[in-house]
Structure 1
Amino acid sequence: MTQFSIVVPTLNESENIDLLLARLFALNIPSDTFEVIFVDDSSNDGTPEKIRNWQKHTNIHLIERSGKPDLTASILAGTDAAQSDIIVVMDADLSHPHEQLKALVEPLLHDQYDVVIGSRYIDGGGVHGWPFYRHMLSRIGGWLARPFCDVSDATSGFFAFRREFAATVSKQAHGYKILLEILMANDGNLRIKEIPICFRDRAHGASKLSFSHQLTYLQRLMTLAGGSVSAGTAGRFAVVGLLGMVADVLMFQWMISRETGLALAHIASFLVAICINYAMNATWSFRANDIYHLQWTQFIRFLTIGALSLLLRGGVLALCVHILNMSPSVAIFPAIAATAMVNYLGTAFYVFPNGQHFPSQHMRWRVAAVGVVGFCILLRLIYLGLAQLIPDEAYYWQYAQHMDLSFYDHPPMVAWLIWLSTAIFGDNEAGVRAGAFVCSLLVLGFLYAYAQNLYDKSTAFRAILLFSVLPMGFASGFLMTPDAPLAAAWMAALFFMERALVADQQSAWLGVGVAFGLGMLSKYTLGLLGLAALVFVLIDPVARRSMARPHLYLAIILALLIFSPVLIWNFQHDWASFVFQSTRHVANSSQFSVHFLIIYIIILLTPVGFLAAVLALTQHAGSEKQNIFPYKSGARKQLFIQIMTGVPFLVFLVFSTFDHPKFHWTGPIWLAVLPSIAWMLVKTEGVNRFAAWVQRTWQHTIAICLLVYAFTLHYLVLGVPGIPYHLFTEHYFWRETTYVVEQIAEEVRKQSGMEPIVVGMSKWSVASSLYFYNHARGDLDIRSRNLFGDSGAMYSYWFPSQLPTNRAIIQVGMKPAHLDQIREGDNLKQMLIQPGAVQYRTIHNNGIVLRRVYFRVARGFKGVPA
């Protein structure tokens, strides 16, 4: 009885046939339990004759195909002719280890799995004899498929599967990776196992792999993922794109020649091109989708992709003009080229998706995750060095100019990261923010692993999508504040604590200690996660066993060792930082602010995210229909999420009953519940109407968030014609403001004959911003308002109060009232010598009003009264 069939496609493999069959029949497998089916694609080297010689003696069959050689078609032809229900696919070139044949088919014979793959890229597997470029091409192909297939080697040519799954392969399938076709056609419905194999390069004959095969693989991968991607659509799209580009460039050059401004020129020219593109793409490029008339839903999607491409290209254009110093006439070409792929992929997957191959809901969300996360990363990279620093970032850059073990109002991690990144990239915006970008990648990695441990791979993809688009995630990955390393450490701590407390992996306690130590070096808020862990240990009986083991206490010791620089600094400075963090709010008057806390959370999560978090945290683990965990240990996992989110939230809730919380404080506490929100995106059982509405609204929320981020960055860097900058009159445009302050200082310098002292009338924000944008020239003597005896945070340590001086004092503020605001009871004007009237200068850029800067000049400073 034939138990399994081996299908071997061939094309000019005559030198390998005898060796292959001799090895197969030498195995410790009865020869009557399997058959070998050769499918030959018109070989001209005698391969069929070699096979026929063996047919006289053994259970061997030959199928000769005519027409264009195609590996997928050959394997399907062999499968149709097979006498068994278990099919093994292997190459004829002796690269696959025949001795692993038994390990490949036994799991299927015992009905344990549906597909068993000989994997080169799991522990125990490997590749020998391949040149570097072949190895890298194979790796890249596997990496491209991994977001869509739950295997490590989706491009393997040595695998076994149940014959029934061959019927699920699309009739349009072609190329040389039929395993990919089977895996993606049966997404989520296969029991899959990978076994390690050692792949060896062929000893005889020539490889049939070519560049066209690589393009075919890429095209099939995107088609199976739901995109309208083919040589025909790509070619037609390219023709349409070229026509649109000609119109785009001509309009742009004409408007630039008339000095209309960079933003207006590129927006107007893009709109002309996009109208041409939509009309021709809808009626010609993607005609296989039977789209020959205007559809409003489709048109709105097209506008969304077009707007995102426009806003992204504005960043590329600004990068080329302002950073690379290209002329606008030249910069428009790389800007168009950089956004063409975004347009094509967005159009192929979102506007005109493949109507003939409609992937599952889980697959569509994976595809969306790849696209959205990729776009967010690209958006950050382009605008990272273009958007000016906000005052907070400039202040932490000042930390890095005065490196220390810790600082008065924050631990030192933010300073250490800025010091390292600016040492590599320079003292510019990109150098300051590089650390935040890296921290966001760390959050994505740990969040993916955390969600996969709690749920599955599809949920993990949706979780990182949500983090990328929610305001709390996008902002922490762009702005270099203590929240960036805090988010990375918080997510790492959650991952390792879940492994240690829920999965009971004792080795994970090492990661817990490192994550907590680094997190406390980032921001003391991470201590709330430690409190939550203590509550979970006390409640959960399994986790309670950790208290009797040494690993927990070693993790605490390790965290304290890493945190020791802060302890040393505080010991040297009378515990100033701890006192400041613990007493600064208690000293304020009581203010009930729970409503503000809720509003801030809604902004950080979006209204839909807030509702989804409430739904996820209030689900019941006891009922099968309500349980948000479809796996064993669901109750413990849900308890872990509820405590890790709920305990820090309760602390902030209690705090907000008597004081005003900061806008961003609760951001990291929602990382714990993101996987549950992601899982509920596709939940179908036990979903009421309200939850179903939340599910449907997520798609619109994601699109709106992306548009808001891209629009804001474009608005800040290039502007948007017709929209003034009223929203940013105080806290932005410090580069232009510094230039104006330098002019004021030069005027005072000429009048007085001495170097004036510029005083930023805030604790640290004004002085820090002026410092950063003046540091290249360094011609200003800049101080904080602590010059007048008021609080200046770290400026009180760096620049103590000024002694009396006859040097002119220039006060600089964001508002007129700021020029008189110092600590209660002090009269600022009595400290100044001949203070003048409050004045202002209006700051312009290319004729656009940006903001005002307020200032007052005094002849000198009498000193702070006793």
Structure 2
Amino acid sequence: MTQFSIVVPALNEAGNIDLLLTRLSALNFAPYSFEVIFVDDGSTDGAPDKVRAWRNQSNVHLIERRDKPDLTAATLAGIAAAKSDVIVVMDADLSHPPEQLPAIVTPVLNGNYDVVIGSRYVAGGSTENWPLYRQLLSRAGSWIARPLCDVNDATSGFFAFRRELAACISNHARGYKILLELLMANQGKLRVTEVPICFRDRAQGASKLSLSHQQAYIQRLITLAGGTATLNTAGRFAAVGLFGALIDAVVFQWMISRDAGLALAHFISFFVAAVTNYTFNSKWSFREHHAGYLKWHQFGRFLTVGALALLLRGGVLALLVYVWHIPPLLAIFPAIVATAAVNYLGSAFYVFPSEKDLPSLDIRWRTAAIGIVLFAILLRLVYFGLAQLIPDETYYWQYAQHMDLSFYDHPPMVAWLIWFGTAIAGNNEFGVRIGALLCGSITLGYLYALAQNLYDKSTAMRTLLLLAILPLGFGSGLLMTPDAPLVAAWAATLYYMERTLVAGQRTAWLGMGIAFGAGLLSKYTIGLLGIAALVFVILDPTARRWMQRSHPYLAALLALLLFSPVIIWNYENDWASFAFQSNQLLTDGHEFAVHFLIFHILVLLTPIGFAAALLALFSNKPSEDRPFERRRQLFVQIFTGVPLCIFFIISTFETPRFHWTGPIWLAVLPAIAWMIGQTDQVSAFARRIQASWRLTIISCIFVYAFVLHYVVLGIPGMPYHMFTEHYFWRETAGEIKQIAAEVKHQTGQEPIIVGMSKWSVASALYFYTHGDDPLDIRSRNMFGDSGAMYEYWLPSQEAADRPIIQVGMKRRHLERTRTKNDINHMLDHPGPIEYRVIERYGTPVRRVYYRISQGFKGVS
């Protein structure tokens, strides 16, 4: 009886057949027996005769195909003729060592695995005698397939599997990577393992690999992912795109010549070109995937992709015109080209997706995750250096100008990151925000690893999707505030805590000590994770054993050592920072603010995300016979629930800040992502939540693109009322410089500019006026009120006979302050409160209020 069949597709391999069969015959494989099926694909070197010569000596069979040579088709023909239920596929050129056959096929014969792959790219695997370009091509082929299948060597030609799995392979399967077809067709249903092999280049014959094979592989991978991007559609799309680009450029230039403004011109020209493109693409470029009549849902998807491409293009256009100073009539062309890829890929995967080989739901989610995460990253990169800093960022930039071991209201990590970024890129928006980009990347990496450890790779990819589109993740990866390093450190600490407390890895305690220490250097809030870890250890008997070992105590000591700069600074400054944080919670004025906390959570998670979080925390109850699932659920509940409960307690007597709860939801994101992929035994409420995620994802990414375009380039027909107080500081600073110049001209003295807020006005003005002729800018602590770090940087409250210009975001900021003293008595001949309208490219954007006095008498 034949226990397994070896299928060997061959084309002009006459020089290798005798040696291959000799080495296979020499294998001691008792008690298993096997057959060898050669599938000749039209050889012209006498290879079929070589196989026939062996038919009388061993269990060797020959199939001769007369169709066009195709490795996948040849392999499927051999599988169809096999007599056994276990199949091994290998090449005929001896690149796959026959001696590794027992290690490949035995796990399938034993029923331990469904597929076993001879892998070059796991520990112990290697390639020999391959030229560098072949190694790079092979690595690249495996790398681009990894997001869609859960193996390291998806392009391997040496593998064993259960024969019944081949029935799921599509009839449209073509190319030379049958393993990829097998894995994708059975995604999520397979027990797969990889066995290391040494792959050796052929000694005889010529390789069949060509550029056309590489193109066919990429094409097939795209099709299996649900896309319709082919050379034919790409060529037709490019032709349509060139015609659309011509229309786009002509309309844009006509609008610019009519003084329409950059934003309006690029909106109108894009709309005209988009309508033209959709008409031709639906009728010609993607005609195989269009029903021939208007589909409203398809047209809606087209509008969605077009709107995202439009909003991204606005950033590219602003970068070219306002930063690189390229004339608009020339800048429109690279802007069109830069966003053509978004339009094409969006059309290929979303507007006109493949309907012949519809991928599984899991594959569609993975494809969506790749596309949306990449778009979110691209959106950040384009707008990173264009969007002006918010006052918080300028304040922390001030930290970097006064480097110290720590600071009054925050630990020093944000200052270190800004110092690093500005040292590389200069004191501009991009330089300030490089640290946020770095922290966002760290968060993505650690959260992906955490989700994969808790669940699987598909869940990990959906977790990245959620992190990229939810406000808590997108905001922390864009703005350079202490929350950016805090979120990164929180994700890293969660990862190492899972490795230690759930997986029991001793070496992970070192990582946890470093991550927790980095978190303490970012924001004291991370201490809540320490409380959560203690609760988990108390409740979980397995983790409780760590209390008797030295590892957690050494990790705590390491974190404390990293935190020592903050301790030293507080020691030298009368414990000011610790006292400040304590006073925030122990203030005399108590206010019940739970409703504010809930509202903030709804914004940070979105309503759908909040409902999904509650569902993930409380609805999933693993059975008693699944200890890992129970401990996993406990980990998610404790590391989300404990910090959340503490915030709820605080909000009963203190109004929480908007962003406080952002990091605590990182622990539950993998559980939410896991529930998105569940299709069996799901409640009706859970199904409604799952169905709502698509709209939530599209809405969030659209809102981010819309807001960024709005603050950088504007939206035609929409006035600037959303950011009248806290934004557009570059233009405001220019107006204040003009006022200061007028005062200096009138008095002959350099005025003192006083921002009438704790630190935001002074910091924003200083950042945008810190060039060659900086102004003397101070905070309201000059009048005896609180000024946070300005009390350390500019503590003097002495009288001055120089003119004073008070600047505020609102009139009431100049009319009164929190100080007990009457500010009017401190000023020498204070003038009336005035305001100026700040314009941006001729459009009013906000007001700035100011008052001029002849001098300052000092704080009485």
TM-score relative to the length of structure 2: 0.97
- Alignment-mate amino acid for residue 422 of structure 1: T
Cα distance in 1, alignment partners of residues 211 and 427 from structure 2: 43
CA contact (8 A) 1:537 1:543 kept: yes
CA contact (8 A) 2:784 2:819 kept: no
Cα distance in 2, alignment partners of residues 253 and 129 from structure 1: 57
Cα distance in 1, alignment partners of residues 676 and 202 from structure 2: 47
Q: Does the residue aligned with 2:764 lie in a helix, a strand or coil?
A: helix
CA contact (8 A) 1:652 1:666 kept: yes
Q: Which residue of 2 aligns with 1:799?
A: 794
Q: Which residue of 1 aligns with 2:243?
A: 243
Q: Does the residue aligned with 2:87 lie in a helix, a strand or coil?
A: strand
Residues 115-151 of structure 1: per-residue CA shift (max 9 Å, x gap): 1101111111122233333222222221211111111
Would the alpha carbon gap of residues 21 and 342 (structure 1) be closer, same or farther in structure 2, given more than 3 Å must change?
same
Describe how 1:655-666 pairs up with structure 2 within 5 A.
655-666=650-661
The reply on whether 1:303 has 2:288 as its aligned counterpart is no
Q: Which residue of 1 aligns with 2:699?
A: 704
Q: Which residue of 1 aligns with 2:288?
A: 288
Residues 705-738 of structure 1: per-residue CA shift (max 9 Å, x gap): 0110000001111100110111111111111111
Q: Which residue of 2 aligns with 1:627?
A: none
Would the alpha carbon gap of residues 53 and 797 (structure 1) be closer, same or farther in structure 2, given more than 3 Å must change?
same
Q: Does the residue aligned with 1:142 lie in a helix, a strand or coil?
A: helix
Q: Which residue of 1 aligns with 2:205?
A: 205
Q: Which residue of 2 aligns with 1:760?
A: 755
Shift of 1:167: 2.2
The reply on whether 1:312 has 2:312 as its aligned counterpart is yes
Q: Which residue of 1 aligns with 2:104?
A: 104
Shift of 1:419: 0.9
Cα distance in 1, alignment partners of residues 519 and 773 from structure 2: 34
Cα distance in 2, alignment partners of residues 543 and 35 from structure 1: 51
Describe how 1:342-353 pairs up with structure 2 within 5 A.
342-353=342-353
- Alignment-mate amino acid for residue 77 of structure 1: A
Cα distance in 1, alignment partners of residues 334 and 626 from structure 2: 50
Q: Which residue of 2 aligns with 1:545?
A: 545
Cα distance in 2, alignment partners of residues 745 and 45 from structure 1: 89
Q: Which residue of 1 aligns with 2:642?
A: 647
The reply on whether 1:609 has 2:604 as its aligned counterpart is no
Cα distance in 2, alignment partners of residues 543 and 590 from structure 1: 39
- RMSD value, Cα: 1.8
Cα distance in 1, alignment partners of residues 340 and 68 from structure 2: 33
CA contact (8 A) 2:169 2:185 kept: yes
Q: 1:861 aligns with which of 850, 856, 860?
A: 856
CA contact (8 A) 1:440 1:484 kept: yes
Cα distance in 2, alignment partners of residues 442 and 175 from structure 1: 37
CA contact (8 A) 1:439 1:484 kept: yes
- Alignment-mate amino acid for residue 853 of structure 1: V
Structure 1 stretch displaced more, 684-693 or 560-569: 684-693
Q: Which residue of 2 aligns with 1:394?
A: 394
Structure 1 stretch displaced more, 557-566 or 634-643: 634-643
Would the alpha carbon gap of residues 803 and 348 (structure 1) be closer, same or farther in structure 2, given more than 3 Å must change?
same
Cα distance in 1, alignment partners of residues 161 and 327 from structure 2: 58
Structure 1 stretch displaced more, 815-824 or 214-223: 815-824
Q: Which residue of 1 aligns with 2:471?
A: 471
Shift of 1:52: 3.8
The reply on whether 1:427 has 2:422 as its aligned counterpart is no
Cα distance in 1, alignment partners of residues 154 and 48 from structure 2: 30
- Alignment-mate amino acid for residue 392 of structure 2: D
Q: Which residue of 1 aligns with 2:733?
A: 738
Cα distance in 2, alignment partners of residues 2 and 762 from structure 1: 84
Shift of 1:388: 0.5
Structure 1 stretch displaced more, 798-807 or 386-395: 798-807
CA contact (8 A) 1:844 1:851 kept: yes
Q: Which residue of 1 aligns with 2:231?
A: 231
Q: Which residue of 1 aligns with 2:723?
A: 728
Shift of 1:349: 1.7
Shift of 1:688: 3.0
CA contact (8 A) 1:513 1:556 kept: yes
CA contact (8 A) 2:622 2:629 kept: no
CA contact (8 A) 1:476 1:484 kept: yes
Structure 1 stretch displaced more, 123-132 or 726-735: 123-132
Cα distance in 1, alignment partners of residues 136 and 769 from structure 2: 47
Please list every run of 5 or more consecutive structure 2 residues that lacks an aligned counterpart in the other structure: none
Residues 505-532 of structure 1: per-residue CA shift (max 9 Å, x gap): 2222112111110101000000111111
Q: 1:850 aligns with which of 825, 845, 850?
A: 845
Would the alpha carbon gap of residues 237 and 574 (structure 1) be closer, same or farther in structure 2, given more than 3 Å must change?
same
Q: Which residue of 2 aligns with 1:829?
A: 824
Would the alpha carbon gap of residues 420 and 14 (structure 1) be closer, same or farther in structure 2, given more than 3 Å must change?
same
- Alignment-mate amino acid for residue 805 of structure 1: A
The reply on whether 1:64 has 2:64 as its aligned counterpart is yes
Structure 1 stretch displaced more, 838-847 or 701-710: 838-847
Q: Which residue of 2 aligns with 1:776?
A: 771
Cα distance in 2, alignment partners of residues 721 and 260 from structure 1: 10
Shift of 1:620: 5.0
Residues 333-380 of structure 1: per-residue CA shift (max 9 Å, x gap): 222222112112212222222111122222221111111111111111
Shift of 1:643: 1.4
Would the alpha carbon gap of residues 520 and 193 (structure 1) be closer, same or farther in structure 2, given more than 3 Å must change?
same
Would the alpha carbon gap of residues 31 and 589 (structure 1) be closer, same or farther in structure 2, given more than 3 Å must change?
closer
CA contact (8 A) 1:283 1:291 kept: no
Aligned-pair identity in percent equals 65
Would the alpha carbon gap of residues 91 and 623 (structure 1) be closer, same or farther in structure 2, given more than 3 Å must change?
closer
Shift of 1:623: 5.8
Structure 1 stretch displaced more, 470-479 or 239-248: 239-248
CA contact (8 A) 1:236 1:284 kept: yes
Shift of 1:88: 1.6
Residues 450-503 of structure 1: per-residue CA shift (max 9 Å, x gap): 112222221111111111111111101100101111111111111111121122
Describe how 1:537-576 pairs up with structure 2 within 5 A.
537-576=537-576
- Alignment-mate amino acid for residue 451 of structure 1: A
Cα distance in 2, alignment partners of residues 688 and 10 from structure 1: 52
CA contact (8 A) 1:41 1:66 kept: yes
Q: Which residue of 2 aligns with 1:76?
A: 76
Q: Which residue of 1 aligns with 2:2?
A: 2
Residues 380-402 of structure 1: per-residue CA shift (max 9 Å, x gap): 11111111100001111111111
- Alignment-mate amino acid for residue 330 of structure 2: V
Cα distance in 1, alignment partners of residues 542 and 113 from structure 2: 32
Q: Which residue of 2 aligns with 1:504?
A: 504
Would the alpha carbon gap of residues 299 and 290 (structure 1) be closer, same or farther in structure 2, given more than 3 Å must change?
closer
TM-score relative to the length of structure 1: 0.96
CA contact (8 A) 1:25 1:31 kept: no
CA contact (8 A) 1:788 1:801 kept: no
Residues 694-714 of structure 1: per-residue CA shift (max 9 Å, x gap): 221111111110110000001
Q: Does the residue aligned with 1:522 lie in a helix, a strand or coil?
A: coil
Q: Does the residue aligned with 2:722 lie in a helix, a strand or coil?
A: helix
Q: Which residue of 2 aligns with 1:93?
A: 93
The reply on whether 1:750 has 2:742 as its aligned counterpart is no
Cα distance in 1, alignment partners of residues 160 and 647 from structure 2: 55
Structure 1 stretch displaced more, 41-50 or 519-528: 41-50
CA contact (8 A) 1:529 1:644 kept: yes
Cα distance in 2, alignment partners of residues 565 and 56 from structure 1: 81
CA contact (8 A) 2:799 2:857 kept: yes
For these two proteins, the number of residue pairs brought into alignment is 860
Shift of 1:304: 0.9
The reply on whether 1:694 has 2:689 as its aligned counterpart is yes
Q: Does the residue aligned with 2:370 lie in a helix, a strand or coil?
A: helix
- Alignment-mate amino acid for residue 506 of structure 2: Q
Structure 1 stretch displaced more, 636-645 or 600-609: 636-645
CA contact (8 A) 1:811 1:819 kept: yes
Would the alpha carbon gap of residues 32 and 573 (structure 1) be closer, same or farther in structure 2, given more than 3 Å must change?
closer
Cα distance in 2, alignment partners of residues 79 and 197 from structure 1: 23
Describe how 1:484-633 pairs up with structure 2 within 5 A.
484-619=484-619, 621=621, 632-633=627-628
Cα distance in 1, alignment partners of residues 743 and 50 from structure 2: 97
Would the alpha carbon gap of residues 15 and 542 (structure 1) be closer, same or farther in structure 2, given more than 3 Å must change?
same
CA contact (8 A) 2:470 2:605 kept: yes
Q: Does the residue aligned with 1:728 lie in a helix, a strand or coil?
A: coil
